[in-house]
Amino acid sequence: MTMTKERFAGGLTYDAYKEAMTRNRERVEDNEKKVVLDPGTVRFFKGLPEPINVVVLAEDWCGDVIANLPVLGTLAKAVGTLEVRIFYRDQNLDLINRWLNQGKYQSIPVFAFFDQSFRDLGHWIERPASVTELRARKRKEIFASDPAFGSPDAPVDQLPEDVRTRLQAELAKMREETTAFANNEVQRELRELVAAIPAR
Amino acid sequence: MSAVKVKITYCAECGYEPQTLDLAKALMFEFAQDLASIELIPWEGGTFDVSVDGELVHSMRREGGFPAAESVKAAVRARLPASPAS
């Protein structure tokens, strides 16, 4: 299907989406506070020749939505040139099936960019590959740091409860410590995606 | 009688609670007190693992997707003492 002005208008604004969240709103708002906007990225988006419409596909249970939507929401509020409308993935399967991750996964969030005539400009899915790679490496380091954690590929239910709790705390700490990097990478990728759009 | 223990490790950040609860419910109704316990372990990283008496019978990473409740029931049934012949 094609995105139309009418359908776009039926999406939720970022604030309306947060109002409608049935869970994890506090995590989204905590993440908003951690977003430090890159001045060059802000200048770039403020200097766009015309506003861009951004279709977002999301669900409020999704960790990558909780992590990355606040980056877009905060950026959009700061620059004034990104008009964001959010749609629930599971109620808009025609949309998600248009932007499948690797052609097969319904990964979210999806940020899909359209010009004022709703011509497709490109899209962004889930999280930056650099973030996935960094966290996978850090995860391996955590497992290697303590023999009690066993293999990263072994089922965690076989760990004693106290070890599992310790491991979970280490993983949560690692995610926290890599948040700033992740937020910067999201901004960098969004800027690069939009910068690559040929002038019409 | 030796009762069977089931552990379901699910990715909480992925929102796998409904699948976890559906499976737990199916096992509870099927086996009642023949199960010693069903332990639900919130985890991360896209995990959905099910073990029965310490043996991993389903792993989302290994098999892909969620398990059919029937296959987990079969794994439990295989570990229950045989019923006396009627």
Q: What is the mean pLDDT of residues A183-194?
A: 98
Tokens of A113: 């960019």
Mean pLDDT of chain A: 95
B53-71: burial string, b at 16+ Cβ within 10 Å, e else: beebbbbbeeeeebbebee
> Measured between beta carbons, which residues in chain B are less than 8 angstroms from residue A66?
13
Express each pLDDT in A67-96 by its tens digit: 999 999 999 999 999 999 999 999 999 999
Look at residue B85 and tell me whether its pLDDT is greater than 70.
no
Look at residue A13 and tell me whether its pLDDT is greater than 90.
yes
ipTM of the complex: 0.76
Round to whole Å and give the CA distance between A140 and B42. 20
Express each pLDDT in B63-76 by its tens digit: 888 999 999 999 99
Q: Of B12, B56, B7, whose CA–CA distance to A151 is shortest?
A: B56
Q: What is the mean pLDDT of residues B19-42?
A: 96
**Across the interface, do A156 and B13 touch by the CB < 8 Å criterion?**
no
A116–chain B Cβ distance below 8 A for any pair:
no
A59, A139, A155 ranked by CB distance to B9: nearest: A155
A14-38: burial string, b at 16+ Cβ within 10 Å, e else: beebbeebeebeebbeebbeebebe
Q: B57: which residues sit within 8 A by CB, 6+ positions away? A: B50, B51, B67, B71, B72, B75
Q: B80: which residues sit within 8 A by CB, 6+ positions away? A: B4, B31, B34
> Measured between beta carbons, which residues in chain A are less than 8 angstroms from residue B51?
155, 157-158
**Across the interface, do A155 and B13 touch by the CB < 8 Å criterion?**
no
A7–chain B Cβ distance below 8 A for any pair:
no
Express each pLDDT in A29-70 by its tens digit: 999 999 999 999 999 999 999 999 999 999 998 889 999 999
CA distance, residue B55 to nearest chain A CA (Å): 9
Q: What is the pTM of this model?
A: 0.85
CA distance, residue B39 to nearest chain A CA (Å): 9
B7, B44, B51 ranked by CB distance to A171: nearest: B44
CA dihedral of residues B6, B7, B8, B9 (deg, nearest 10): -170
Distance of CA B57 to the CA centre of its chain: 8
Tokens of B35: 């199960």
A173–chain B Cβ distance below 8 A for any pair:
no
Amino acid at A25: R
